[in-house]
Amino acid sequence: MLELRSLTKKFGETIAVSDLNIICAEREFLVIFGPAGAGKTTTLRMIAGVLQPTSGDINFRGRSLKGVPPEHRNMSMVFEYYALYSHLSVFENLAFPLRARRFPDDEIEKLVKRMADILQISELLDRRPGFLSGGQRQRVALGRTLVRDADVYLLDEPISHLDAKLRHRMRGELKAICAEKEATVIHVTHDSREAMALSDRIAVINKGKLMQIGPPDEIFYRPGNEFVAGFVGEPPMSFVDVEYTEEEGQPTFHITGDDTQLPASLEVGAYLNEKGQPDSLRLGVRATEVSAMPAKDETHNVPGEVYVTETLGHRNILTAKLGNKLVQVVTPPEFAFKVKDIVWLDLSPANVYVFSDGLTIAYPRHQDS
Amino acid sequence: MSSVALEKVWKKYGDVEAVRGISMDIADGEFMSFLGPSGCGKSSTMRMIAGLEEITSGNIYFDGELITNVKPRDRNVAMAFETYALYPTLNVYENLAFPLRAAKWSAADVDSRVREIATILEMTDLLDRKPANLSSGQQQLAGLGRALARKPRVFLLDEPISHLDTRQRGRMRAYIKRLHMELGYTMIYVTHDQEEAMALADRIAVMNEGMISQIGTPQEIFQNPADLFVAGFIGEPPMNLLDCEYHPALGRHVLSYNGITIQMPSHSEALVQQGAIPQRVTLGIRPFYIDIGLETSVRHTIPAEVFVVEPLGDMTVVSVNVLETRLQVAAAPDFRAQPKQTLWLAFDPAHTLLFDAETGHALTNQA
């Protein structure tokens, strides 16, 4: 078990990591997920021991790692800017951690070739790093990290520089290798699908702080705040500014910059009546959780103006203007919406998230089942 | 704006043939995407249109006028690259106006153009701001607006948003598409990202090894890829491909994948009647058209072993091994399974495609 206790790192006045408390279980695949500058890499480097915390501690299997140098931590790390040995071939780069541990030659050969095969770099084994593309180098670095056994694997954006096709393929391979090794992995990424696909749990961090930690389903379906909701999922959640009133006793939202009204749930009404009008009140609309129709009907009763539509083959993405915001909705390929058409969206309380001053106060109802 | 025509255009760098005899017509006002992996010749082709690379042989025309030997600055093309650095001392209005003033537009024309662009990009209330007072997303948008403010004959964009994160990329994509629709530009958009090409383009030219594999609308290319390269390149997750054998003696409407029987595509009837199906064929099926059963059934007849399960929120991608072939299935968001578990697959014959395994060419066409 790896435990981050009030882990904090300051660079001068800048707080890179702020009071982080995270526990990673043995054999867990934990993803640290956040935007650029969130403190993800800094956290990983402190776990590896190449950076010292300003305060707080890291415990591993019940022992503090304070003062334990990186080489005694038995952690295997791939850096986003992978340092390969430029004078060694790809084969020798992959073999390096095994030679250092005095593996016999035939065992090295077997392990290196298997890893190269999985990462689709077998034909590059004789080359020097200088003759590789960025994506190829990244795979060599990942291979060198995974080829040996370690207590913890620390992976910093290990597949982010690959082009889309290869990245998705490698994502599956990485998950399978780690499952087979029963490895404990801490994986840093800014890619929502990568975080969802790989992890047992996701720790979402922003500006050095932990925003939420939980299994991918929980992060996706029950985001605790607007930041998490907007950062996980693709296409990303759209937000619509609203004001809250009661119309003839019915809790109601008004879309800001528009004269459209839509019903709010009784629970949301009760919450807002007690709290008073928040500074920021927004609806969250996930493109896959609402639908759009060309004609108004009982549930599709919020009008929007088509801003643009995009064809993706098996589905389309419709972007519609709602008040002062753009909202994205996934539509079936057979729907042909034209720019500036009016479309009707189903934004009943059962389909949307509600955020009051950044905190989630209501989730779509289908998730209760 | 102009139409663009390429006629047997070649580009050689020494012995390397980067572009091998490409011909195509791009209509006035069309959004054309050059799509392909790195090294396919897409950027070289675009640079020849811009005049930044010499053409080894062949011709390029704008509106029927031969421009092969016209200097780049006299072609009146505009190129947008990845960087959108704004002038920090100028407000958004002046940033947008800058390329227009440089092109000696009248003050009235500059003003109406800047307001037009700002309206499309929904930035009219930001015109007075300096870049430092914009969010990074707004800076991106202002930079895009500036890049597209001029009215050249042809706009060339080379991977203009590939450095952005997914969120910003999705937004910029919508704005680029709307700008194109409102302004009627002839646009050539180079990318390696098939989703970007699909989302944006009127037509896509899929390129591979210096040649065009297929040219068509996104829907045409998605539904009926011309060959195995296009089939594997378009779509995410990509189309699954299974090398099968056809033995009419064992059944005229079935294929065999190493002994596993698979139904023929439902639109292959004419080919079956003509006896025009070769013995070695590749069956293609997109991950969205495979149904998973936990038990075998009349429909679920293809045994598969789970390799890895990737829940993505809007779907779960299940990678499975069917004998030696790895397939990907797009399952419901809440689908879960364990590695090594056996599942039973059903292919929807209305959505399978046949390719000649020898040549890689498509044999069938979906309606």
The Cα B69–Cα B53 span in angstroms is: 11
Query: Nearest 5°: CA angle at B306, between A181 and B194?
Result: 95
The Cα A44–Cα A75 span in angstroms is: 11
| Interface residues of chain B, partner chain A, Cβ below 8 Å | 37-38, 165-167, 170-171, 173-174, 177-178, 181, 192-195, 198-200, 218-219, 222-223, 233-238, 286, 288, 307-308, 310-314, 317, 319, 330, 333, 339
- What letter does residue A67 receive in the DSSP assignment? T
- What lies within 8 Å, CB to CB, of A140 at 6+ separation is A82, A84, A90, A93, A94, A119, A121, A124, A129, A132
- CA B293, B296, B301, B306 torsion-angle sign: positive
The Cα A190–Cα A34 span in angstroms is: 5
Provide the residue ranges of all domains of chain A, joining segments of one domain with +.
2-223, 238-368
DSSP3 helix / strand / coil % (chain A, rounded to 5): 30, 35, 40
- Residues of chain B within CATH 2.40.50.140 domain(s) are 237-356
The Cα A123–Cα A281 span in angstroms is: 56
Tokens read off for B175: 């704005």
Compare all CA atoms of chain B with the CA of A310 and give the residue at the minimum distance: B199
Q: Do B222 and A313 touch (CB under 8 A)?
A: yes
Compare all CA atoms of chain A with the CA of B287 and give the residue at the minimum distance: A314
Measured between beta carbons, which residues in chain A are less than 8 angstroms from residue B167?
230-231, 236
How do residues A60-77 score in pLDDT, each as one tens digit? 999 999 999 999 999 999
Give, for all 367 residues of chain B, the pLDDT tens digit: 899 999 999 999 999 999 999 999 999 999 999 999 988 999 999 999 999 999 999 999 999 999 999 998 899 898 876 556 789 999 999 999 999 999 899 999 999 999 999 998 888 999 999 999 988 778 888 888 888 888 889 999 988 887 777 777 888 899 999 989 988 989 999 999 999 999 999 999 999 999 999 999 999 999 999 999 999 999 989 999 999 999 999 899 999 999 999 999 999 999 999 999 999 999 999 999 999 999 999 999 999 999 999 999 889 999 999 999 999 999 999 999 999 999 999 999 999 999 999 999 999 887 6
Compare all CA atoms of chain B with the CA of A327 and give the residue at the minimum distance: B171
The Cα A353–Cα A284 span in angstroms is: 5
Q: Do A196 and B195 touch (CB under 8 A)?
A: no
Nearest alpha carbon to residue A141 among A151, A127, A156 = A156
Note whether A174 and A180 are within 8 A (CB): no
| Stretch (H or E) spanning A311 | strand A302-311
Pick the CATH number of B237-356 from 2.40.50.140, 1.10.730.10, 3.40.50.620, 3.50.50.60: 2.40.50.140
Residues 291-320 of A with CB under 8 A from B: 307-308, 310-314, 317, 319
- Residues of chain B within CATH 3.40.50.300 domain(s) are 4-226
Domain A238-368 superfamily per CATH:
Nucleic acid-binding proteins (2.40.50.140)
Pick the CATH number of A2-223 from 3.40.50.720, 3.40.50.300, 3.20.20.140, 3.30.360.10: 3.40.50.300
Measured between beta carbons, which residues in chain B are less than 8 angstroms from residue A182?
none
Q: Is A333 on the interface with B (CB under 8 A)?
A: yes
Radius of gyration in angstroms for the set of CA atoms belonging to chain B, rounded to a whole number: 25
Nearest alpha carbon to residue A177 among A155, A156, A202 = A155
Beta bridge partners of B362: B355
Beta bridge partners of B267: none
Say what the ipTM of the complex is: 0.89
Domain B4-226 superfamily per CATH:
P-loop containing nucleotide triphosphate hydrolases (3.40.50.300)
Instruction: For residue A368, name the pLDDT band (cuts at 50, 70, 90).
Output: very low
The Cα A77–Cα A148 span in angstroms is: 11
pTM of the predicted model as reported, rounded to 2 decimal places: 0.90
Note whether A152 and A143 are within 8 A (CB): no
